[in-house]
Structure 1
C-alpha cells in the first residue's frame, strides 16, 4: 500500500468549509468530501488562513471580482500536509507549509488566478480556476497544487529561542503571504541595499508590509500616506531609516516635499481602488533620479496620467507586477529565518483575531477594521 493511500485512510471522509453558491450570496457552512491527493497536488490540514482586509468586499459583491461558483473561498494559508500525490519528490505528510494562493498554469505560467479570491483575467486562468483547484482554504482541508506549497523550516520558525528558534506562533506565519507580495515587486525592480525608495501609499496593510520588506532588504524608505499616526509608527519601526511625508492632496506640495530629498532611486505603489483619483502617482515619478525604477502592484482600475517626457528623458523604468512568483519564495523566507524581516509582535506584526469558520462575519469585520501595517486576521479552522 502506498504512503498516499495509507495517509489518506487516516483522514476523515468529509470536512467543514465555508461555501458560496453564487457571487455575492451569503456564505454558509457545508460539509464536503475530503479531496484526494492526485498527481501534482497535496492535501493540507489548514492551520491558519489569511483573511484579506477587504474580504468582505470581495464576497458581498462590492468588488466586482470574477470567481467561479459554487466554491469554497479562501486565500493563502499555513497548513500541515496530510497527503501527497504519487509524483511528490520533496513534500511529505507532516510537513508544515505555506500554501500560496497564486496558482499558475503548468503549461502556461501567464495563466494566473488567485485561489478563493479572483479567477484571473485570461481564458486559460479562468479555465484553471474552474477545475480541480476551485475550492480554497476557508476550510478544514484543502487540495493545493504541489508547486504552490513551500515547506517551512518549522524548528527555526516555531522553535523556542533557547533551542535556536524564533518562537513564533503558527498564526504569525500567515503574514508571510502579506509581505511576500510586495517582496515580489521590490525584487522585480532589483531594489538594492543602501538605496532610497518611496512607498506610497504606505499606511495600509500591503503598503506597510512593503516598508517592512524594503527595510529588510537594506533600503531606506520615504513612507507616504494620509494617516499621521500610522506614519509615526512606521518611522519608529524604521529606526532611523524611514522618513515620512503626509499626503496633502495638493500635487505641487507633495512634489516639493519629495524633491527635497534630491532624487530617489525607486518608487513602489500598491494603491487600492479608492486611490484612483490621487495625484501621488505623478508626484512620486517626478521625484526619481535618472534611471529610477517604478514597481506598480496596485488595484487602481482607471488610467493614471504620468509625466511622459520625464519618463522618456530620465529613462525611468515602469514595471507592472501581479503577485510574487515561485522563485521569490525562497529568498523571502531567508530574510525571515535570518531575522532581517522580523515577524510577530517584535516586528510590528500583531494577530488581531483568530476565528473559527462559523464566525466568518465577525472575522471579516475584524479584518476590515484592522487594516493598518502589521495587522493580521486569520481563520484557524
Structure 2
C-alpha cells in the first residue's frame, strides 16, 4: 500500500510503498476514506511542537474508513462496515487510569510511549490497523461525503471537554479561543447540546462575525482588547447573567493572562475546563488565584481528548442533524498531494475550515 511517511522532523512527508497491515486479536484493518489534516500539522512535522513521534512513522489522527478485516475476537463489526476510527488508544490493563496515545500523533508518559510503539502509524495511508474498540459504526449517509464526516475528529475534542464540565441545556458557556479551529467547534457543539447562550471572545473580528452569522442571538461575540479588567467586564456583560462554565481551547501561542481573564468570569460554583495548549511551548502559564478558586467553590479541571463514549455521542449529534456539517468549508487532497494539504491546512485554520486527505486505494 501507499502511505505518507515522516522520515525525519523538518523534512517533507514522503509518499512511498509500505507493508500493508494485518489484523490480529483485538485489531481491525480499515481502508482510509478521509482524514482531517490539523491546522498545526506543519508545526508537528517541523519539530516545532516537539511531539513524541518517532520517525519513520505514518502520521495522521483518525478518520473515516471501511473495514477490510477484523480479528477473531470481533463479534459485531464486519468487513465492509463504514466506521469512524478514533485515534485515542488506551491501555487495556488499567480501567481506572489508562495510559493514552494518539495513534500516529502523540502520547503521554512512558506508558503512552509504549502504546505508541505498538500503534505507531496513523491515517495518512491507504490502510491502517487500529484497536477493534476504536472502530465506531457510522450511518449509511456518511458514505455520501466521508470527507465532511472526517470533521468528527475535530468536534469530538471540545465535546469531551463539554462533557467533562457537565454542560447542561440552557446554561451559559464561555469559549476561550472561540475564533480558532477547535474553539469554533466548541461553539457549534455547545449549541447542538442545547446551550442557552455562548460567549465568544476573540481578537479576530471577521471570525467573530462568521460565528454570529451562523448562530444568531445564541452567540455573544466579544472583541478582546488585551486589557484584563476591561475584557473581563466585557465578557461578563455579554453573558447577560452568570457564566456557568468556561472551556479554554487557546493555542500554545496565547499568553496565560488571556486564559485567566476568561476563566475568572465564571460564577460561584461554576466550572472551568482547560483543553488548550497555553504554556506548552515554554510561554507564560496560567495563574489562577487560590483564594478566588476556594472562596467561590470553582471547579477547575483539565481534559485531554475525550472518553470513548464521546465518539458514540458525536455520531448521534451528526446523524440527527443537531450538529450540521453543511456550513463547513471542506478542501480535499489526494495522498500524493499530502504536503500541499499540510500547507493548505496551516493557511486555513479558521472557524469551520477543514483540510481533508482522501487516500483510498485505487
Question: Is residue 2:42 matched to residue 1:60?
Answer: no
What do residues 140-195 of structure 1 show as CA deviations (whole Å, max 9, x unaligned)?
A: 1111111111010114x45xxxxxxxxx5111101111011100000111100100
Show the counterpart of 2:102: 114
Partner of 1:130: helix, strand, or coil?
Answer: helix
Question: Is residue 2:224 matched to residue 1:244?
Answer: no
Partner of 1:328: helix, strand, or coil?
Answer: helix
Question: Is residue 2:110 matched to residue 1:123?
Answer: yes
Give unmatched runs, 5+ long, in structure 2: none
Show the counterpart of 2:340: 362
Show the counterpart of 1:195: 171
Tell me how far 1:278 sits from its aligned partner: 4.7
- Mapping of 1:1-381 within 5 angstroms? 15-108=1-94, 110-118=98-106, 120-131=107-118, 133-155=119-141, 157-158=142-143, 169-219=145-195, 220-260=197-237, 261-275=240-254, 277-300=255-278, 301=280, 302-344=284-326, 348-351=327-330, 353-381=331-359
Tell me how far 1:286 sits from its aligned partner: 2.4
Tell me how far 1:308 sits from its aligned partner: 2.0
Tell me how far 1:203 sits from its aligned partner: 0.5
TM-score if structure 2 supplies the norm length?
Answer: 0.94
Are the aligned partners of 2:92 and 2:98 in contact in 1 as well (CA < 8 Å)?
no
Are the aligned partners of 1:199 and 1:221 in contact in 2 as well (CA < 8 Å)?
yes
TM-score if structure 1 supplies the norm length?
Answer: 0.89
Structure with greater contact order relative to length (CA < 8 Å, sep ≥ 6):
2
Tell me how far 1:91 sits from its aligned partner: 1.0
Pick closer, same or farther for the CA change 1:85–1:193 going to 2, 3 Å: same
2-side partners of 1:25 and 1:114: how far apart? 22
1-side partners of 2:113 and 2:122: how far apart? 15
What do residues 72-98 of structure 1 show as CA deviations (whole Å, max 9, x unaligned)?
A: 111111001011111111111001111
Partner of 1:274: helix, strand, or coil?
Answer: coil
Are the aligned partners of 1:286 and 1:307 in contact in 2 as well (CA < 8 Å)?
no
What do residues 180-238 of structure 1 show as CA deviations (whole Å, max 9, x unaligned)?
A: 11000001111001000100110010000000000001111001111011101111211
Are the aligned partners of 2:273 and 2:301 in contact in 1 as well (CA < 8 Å)?
yes
Are the aligned partners of 2:39 and 2:348 in contact in 1 as well (CA < 8 Å)?
yes
Give unmatched runs, 5+ long, in structure 1: 1-14, 159-167
Partner of 1:239: helix, strand, or coil?
Answer: helix
Are the aligned partners of 1:42 and 1:143 in contact in 2 as well (CA < 8 Å)?
yes
Tell me how far 1:26 sits from its aligned partner: 3.3
What do residues 249-269 of structure 1 show as CA deviations (whole Å, max 9, x unaligned)?
A: 110110111232342100010
1-side partners of 2:314 and 2:33: how far apart? 21
